[in-house]
Amino acid sequence: MEYLPVFLQLKGANVLLVGGGSVGTRKARLLLRVDALLTVVSPDITEELRQALADHGGVWQQSHYSETDLHHARLVVAATPERAVNEQISKDAKALAIPVNVVDSPDLCTFIFPSIIDRSPLVIAVSSSGRSPVLARLLRRKIEAMVPAAYGRLAEFAGRMRGPVKDCIPEDGPRRLFWEQAVDGRIGEMVLAGREGEAEKQLREQMAAAGGQHAGEVYLIGGGPGDPALMTFKAVRLLQSADVVLYDRLVSEPILEMSRRDAERIYVGKARSDHTVPQQEINQLLVDLALQGKRVVRLKGGDPFIFGRGGEEIELLARNRIPFQVVPGITAANGAACYAGIPLTHRDYAQSVRFVTGHLKADSTDHDWSQFQSTTETLVFYMGLVGLPVICEKLQGCGRSADTPVALIEHGTLVEQRVLVGTLATMVAIVEREKPRAPTLIIVGDVVRLHKDLAWFGEADP
Ligand SMILES: C[S@@+](CC[C@H](N)C(=O)[O-])C[C@H]1O[C@@H](n2cnc3c(N)ncnc32)[C@H](O)[C@@H]1O
């Protein structure tokens, strides 16, 4: 980050604006909105600015800029049409350690004005670090459409009730959970609908009830196959509300970055043979953290209910009556197949698709391979890299032709995605040569033929 976003309290503070043309007038409007004591130095000013200064008790000093104008200024804005004057103001202000903004000259600024969405007391600021004010304004318009004006009222309401809620629920974690449920639920809706009296009554009732109990909540969230843009809105919202995040090896860094800065992150990931935290301990940890009143996110790659042990993790929660929600994610088969341009079903090639575990050793059962005979069914093997030779051999053994197309997708949906294409007869040699690394997904069936024409993402095939 090049600039630190901060919000300045300028009520009653001396602010100097040099330049009273249309640009200066725009800046003055903003500075007067926060009740700064504004002095405008300029030989001429617009009629609008003259009127605004009169309305808000600002001062017009009808002169050219001189260095002494800076004395006592807490902030200075230069908006003259002359680059040399603006440069001088910037130099003088920097020498006196006064924050300075020169309109449209980021190189002369020590602070910049963001695009603002004003839902006071809620204020949202957007900046492109001076690169593209147009882009920042476009984004502002989008955010404006998403945040109705009534959010200001909601922020006002929350501010008014903050003290009473703190008195009633002194611990940080449970209080945050209480507020999130209130603001994001019925109470928030009532305030937005203008029924503040009713909302306050409900809030006070819920406060009294919550004062004694501190049960947390667990969200079992599917983080999708890797590309952070494939997370659902709900997954992102709940992730951003979490006090603690327990995450797996397959959860990518940008996804983890969406959690709150102060959230605790606990890695409980497993590699194929290296179980970092035993499953039972993960299950128990979820219970323990929730009983401490925390909002816990259990973040898993793909979908939590597809080869994700999600069911096991929430069984113990259910037995302990801990509230939980499950948020589906895009499973690797869907994500990787789409990004590889391989439709899993297709009217001409496959009428069904089957997700199969390729983990064929030790703690997993072997398959009844005769069930995989159908040439009109696509097979997707998860965790199949190590077992690939067995998979190719057994499928041929059960009657699938040696020419059956096979795709192996490495790091599906990520920028490193690679797609290796062969057949049941050739795939093992291709993998030995190309040495793909986990996670990989294996797709078997005639739909793989479509990859050649429909591939759209990432590198071309090797
Ligand atoms: C334990 S399973 C978890 C599956 C996950 N719950 C899901 O729905 O995708 C892990 C396997 O998913 C597959 N996988 C997950 N992410 C992948 C990706 N980005 N590209 C390819 N395969 C992936 C691999 O086969 C990996 O061995």
The 10s digit of each residue's pLDDT in 280-321 is 899 999 999 998 888 899 999 999 999 998 998 999 999 998
Q: Whose CA is nearest to atom 2 of ligand 1?
A: 307
User: For position 305, what pLDDT does the model report?
Assistant: 96
In angstroms, the CA 215 to CA 292 distance is: 7
* String of DSSP letters for 255-288: HHTTS-TT-EEEE--B-SS-BSS-HHHHHHHHHH
**Which of 277, 273, 270, 343 is closest to 308 using CA atoms?**
270
User: For position 18, what pLDDT does the model report?
Assistant: 98
**Which of 324, 312, 307 is closest to 238 using CA atoms?**
324
DSSP state of 232: -
User: For position 275, what pLDDT does the model report?
Assistant: 58
In angstroms, the CA 32 to CA 13 distance is: 11
In angstroms, the CA 148 to CA 129 distance is: 26
User: For position 154, what pLDDT does the model report?
Assistant: 93
User: For position 362, what pLDDT does the model report?
Assistant: 54
Torsion angle, alpha carbons of 34, 37, 43, 48, to 10: 40
Ligand 1 atom nearest 438 alpha carbon: 27
Ligand 1 geometric centre to CA of 339 (Å): 14
Residues with CB under 6 A from ligand 1: 225-226, 250, 300-303, 306-308, 331-332, 336, 382-383, 409, 411-413, 438-441
Q: Whose CA is nearest to atom 15 of ligand 1?
A: 332
* Three-class SS state of 175: helix
Find out whether 22 and 16 touch, Cβ atoms under 8 Å.
Answer: no
In the predicted model, residues of the chain with pLDDT beneath 50 are: 363-364, 462
Q: Whose CA is nearest to atom 10 of ligand 1?
A: 383
Active-site annotation, residues:
248, 270
Ligand 1 geometric centre to CA of 281 (Å): 22
Output the furthest CA–CA distance in the chain (Å, rounded): 94
Location of structure tokens 């492109």: 128
User: For position 229, what pLDDT does the model report?
Assistant: 93
* String of DSSP letters for 378-397: EEEEES-TTTHHHHHHHHHH
Ligand 1 geometric centre to CA of 382 (Å): 6
Location of structure tokens 């976003």: 5
Strand order in the sheet with 440-444: 352-357, 377-382, 440-444, 405-410, 418-423
In angstroms, the CA 255 to CA 405 distance is: 33
Contact residues for 233 (Cβ-Cβ < 8 A; gap 6+): none
DSSP state of 365: P
Ligand 1 atom nearest 303 alpha carbon: 8
Q: pTM of the entire structure?
A: 0.65
Judging by DSSP bridges, how do beta strands 440-444 and 377-382 pair with one another? antiparallel
Contact residues for 97 (Cβ-Cβ < 8 A; gap 6+): none
User: For position 27, what pLDDT does the model report?
Assistant: 95
Ligand 1 geometric centre to CA of 222 (Å): 11
User: For position 234, what pLDDT does the model report?
Assistant: 86
**Which of 117, 240, 196, 124 is closest to 188 using CA atoms?**
196
Find out whether 31 and 77 touch, Cβ atoms under 8 Å.
Answer: yes
Backbone angles phi, psi at 119, to 5 degrees: -120, 50
Ligand 1 atom nearest 305 alpha carbon: 6
User: For position 363, what pLDDT does the model report?
Assistant: 46
